[in-house]
Amino acid sequence: MANIKSAKKRILVNQAKALRNQMIKSQLKTTIKKFNAAVESGDKAAASELYRLAVKKVDQAVAHGILHKNNAAHKKSGFALKFNQMA
């Protein structure tokens, strides 16, 4: 355990940021799973809405520094391919 006041504060700040990152990643994964399920079931309307939501969550993850922008571009490209192949 840290003895210095600033080190104690860093520990608290890091815990808060880790929790925020974990929540964002969890929401992202859940949204992606829902999108994939909608694509598998062939529900075009639900897939369309979930595609929009999945892209939004990926962009938010990039904005918060959770994902790298190239990783996000790769994911969004994959979403678009899956969505377009539903036709």
The pLDDT of residue 1 is 80
The pLDDT of residue 87 is 66
Q: Is the pLDDT of residue 86 over 90?
A: no
Q: What one-character-per-residue DSSP string does 12-51 give?
A: HHHHHHHHHHHHHHHHHHHHHHHHHHHHHHT-HHHHHHHH
Mean pLDDT value across residues 1-5: 90
pLDDT digits (tens, 9 = 90+) for 18-62: 999 999 999 999 999 999 999 999 999 999 999 999 999 999 999
Q: % helix / strand / coil in the chain, to the nearest 5?
A: 85, 0, 15
Distance CA 72, CA 12 (A): 29
Query: To 10 degrees, the CA torsion angle through 53, 55, 59, 61?
Result: 70
DSSP state of 4: S
Residues ≥6 apart with Cβ < 8 Å to 53? 31, 35
pLDDT digits (tens, 9 = 90+) for 65-77: 999 999 999 999 9
The pLDDT of residue 27 is 97
pTM attached to this predicted model: 0.86
